[in-house]
Structure 1
């Protein structure tokens, strides 16, 4: 949570004035399709109890998505020129995948690697949604982009994606914002 969301929350707040003076400024938050598989636990936002690596990662990506959408709402309410845009790489090859399988049995690791090889895109393709969100003309605040192919987990193009219902809920955004301010000591908007 600290790496994937709270650090970004704090850095964005600290850079917001400078960003507002830039030409066509954008804040891009990198989400994951896994954000739809979990719920935020505001009683244990930092996963101090019953920690599970995959669940903590998925929750951090849900929080990142919530943050990006809440940031968009707040920037628009403040009539800011800054756009808050989200993207996810789908399933792309990275050094995170082998680490995620470390605590699995040998057979389970072999099966997972075989499936991942079939589903994952090269990392260069996984970067396309982020690059699109950051540079494409006509992008609007609050938009979310991902791969255009099979189940939006891979593809050579970029397509609009849809956040999960919990990520898009304004009440969740407001509550997470308050928690992030308290956890980071950074307040803005």
Structure 2
């Protein structure tokens, strides 16, 4: 597989190692074990032939890949002989700074407070980037009385991102406090 250059904006995110909790079990097994992918960026180098050759790869694997790509602000329109056909979603760019801030805090929280094999000393729940971000987005939509990112006022992008980052900071401070209480009560 010949490597294609990564979009610099996504380089840090795509260099993350594949984690089994991001994909279904089948999709993870196909991507990590059968195709030998180690990072999320390796997905950008898949071709239609690569997927067709992998035993067990099907609609669920493609759906999981599309969901991950969508969470990064891109829309997956299938795979070609050259690789995935992705286009940037303009709507996602509006809240990109706040979303990147959320993903950074989620990764830090999960690394610090969650380890599935040592439940006595860690917070029992892993923070999902997608579910947690949906909570922040719903709060933004309720505050601005809109139903989608496309309906947010164009001139207020910086203000809305600042508000979203503030909400994210509050959310993760509450989660860190709860995780510390959980640790103390289980020692």
- TM-score with structure 2 setting the length: 0.27
Structure with the largest fraction of helix: 2
Higher RCO (CA 8 Å, separation ≥ 6 residues):
1
- TM-score with structure 1 setting the length: 0.27
